[in-house]
Amino acid sequence: DLNADFYKQTCPDLLKIVRKEVKDALKIEMRMAASLLRLHFVDCFVNGCDASILLDGSNSEKFATPNLNSVRGFQVVDAVKSAVESACSGVVSCADILALIARDSVLLSGGPTWKVLLGRRDGLVPNQRGANLAIPSQYDTLDTIISKFANVGLNVTDVVSLSGAHTIGRARCATFSKRLWNFFNTGGPDSTMEKDMLSDLQHVCLVNGDGNKTTALDRNSNDLFDNHYYQNLLDGKGLLYSDQILFNGGDDETKSVVDNYRRKPKLFFDDFIKSMIKMGNIGPVTGSSGQIRKNCRVIN
Ligand code: HEM
Ligand SMILES: [Ca+2]
C-alpha cells in the first residue's frame, strides 16, 4: 500500500524540493497549476497512476485525442524531477512526483492541502489506445462520464468533486465552440448557456476561428481554487458541455451535489481531497513491478 512516509529515509527533503519547484513555475505562469493538476488526472485514468502520460514517442499518450495539443507542463515536471534527482538519485518515481505536484498546485492556487500517499512505481509502456477510451470527452453524456469514472473505481460524488478541478485553468475554443454556434446540429447555441457569456464567447471563438485560443474554465475565478465553479454551473456559466450537464444533465444526484458544493466550500474541499486520494490510488504499480525512471520521458 501507498503511504505518506515512503521516502522519509531515502529522500527526506522531497516535499520541500517539489514545493519550491512548483512555486517557481507558478511565478512565471499561474495557469501552470491547472496544467499540472490535469496531468495527474490523465495519468491516473490510463494504466493507473504510473506516469505513462510522461513517456515520449510516436505511441505516446500525449498524442491521444483528449490530450493532443492540449496537455502541457512537461518541462516543469522535468525541472522538478531533475531537482529531486540531484538530492536523491534514482529513488523517487515520476508517478509520485506527479501526485505531489498536483497537491502543491492546488494548495498554491488557494485550495486545500492533504498528505499525499507515496510509493508508486513508473510504468514501462504508454497506452495511447487506453487513453482514447478511458479519458472522458467534454461531449460525452453524463452517463458515459459516470461510467468512465466507475471503470477506475470512482463514484458519482467523485465525478462532481473532481470536476471541481475546473475551478482553475483554461480551455481552447476547439473544446467548446460547438456549444456556441451549432450545438449537436441544432443550428443554434446550447440553450443552457447564460446569454451574456454566450455572446462574449461568440466574439472570442469565431466560426472557423483559431481553435487554440483559450478562455477561463471558471469564468471570473480562473486562478483561484475555490467553489465558484459550482455557482457558475447554477448560473449557466459552465464552459464545457461536460461541466454544465452536471447541473442540467437531468441527473438529480449530480445536480444536488453541485448545489451542495456551491453552498458549502468546506464540503467541496473535504470531498475533493478524498477524491484526489482515491484517484491517486488507481492501479498503482508497487513492489518490484515497473521501475523508478531516471528521466520521466523515457524508460531506463
Ligand atoms: C469529468 C470529466 C472531464 C472532462 C470531460 C474534462 C475535459 C477537459 C477539457 C476538454 C479541458 C480543456 C482542454 C483544452 O482546451 O485543451 C480540460 C482542462 C482541465 N482539466 Fe479537465 N476534464 C475532466 C475531468 C478533470 C479532472 C478529474 C481533473 C483533475 C482532477 C481535471 C483537470 C483539468 C484542469 C485543471 C484543466 C485546465 C488545464 C490547463 O489550463 O492547462 N479535469 N478538461
Ligand atoms: Ca475558481
The ligand 1 atom nearest the CA atom of 170:
40
Helices (H), the chain: 14-28, 32-44, 74-87, 94-108, 128-134, 142-150, 156-163, 178-181, 195-204, 228-234, 241-248, 252-263, 265-280
- pTM of structure: 0.98
Residue ranges of the annotated binding site for substrate are: 136
How far is the C-alpha of 283 from the C-alpha of 48, rounded, in Å? 4
Rg (CA), the chain: 19
C-beta of 240 in contact with ligand 1 (< 6 A): yes
C-beta of 138 in contact with ligand 1 (< 6 A): yes
Q: State pLDDT tens for residues 155-186.
A: 999 999 999 999 999 999 999 999 999 999 99
**pLDDT cut 70: percent of the chain above it:** 100
Provide the ipTM: 0.99
Contact 272, 112 (CB under 8 A): yes
The ligand 1 atom nearest the CA atom of 214:
15
Shortest-distance Cα residue to atom 35 of ligand 1: 34
Pocket test for ligand 1, best of 39, 41, 140, 141 (most atoms within 8 A of CB): 41
Question: Per-residue pLDDT for 284 more than 90?
Answer: no
| pLDDT at residue 37 in the model | 98
DSSP one-letter code for 272: H
Question: Per-residue pLDDT for 286 more than 90?
Answer: no
Shortest-distance Cα residue to atom 11 of ligand 1: 171
Pocket test for ligand 1, best of 31, 38, 63, 137 (most atoms within 8 A of CB): 38
How far away, in angstroms, is 294 Cα from ligand 2 center? 35
C-beta of 278 in contact with ligand 1 (< 6 A): no
The ligand 1 atom nearest the CA atom of 275:
30
Shortest-distance Cα residue to atom 18 of ligand 1: 171
Q: State pLDDT tens for residues 216-275.
A: 999 999 999 999 999 999 999 999 999 999 999 999 999 999 999 999 999 999 999 999
Shortest-distance Cα residue to atom 33 of ligand 1: 38
Q: Which three cell numbers stand for residue 300?
A: 531506463
Question: Per-residue pLDDT for 81 more than 90?
Answer: yes
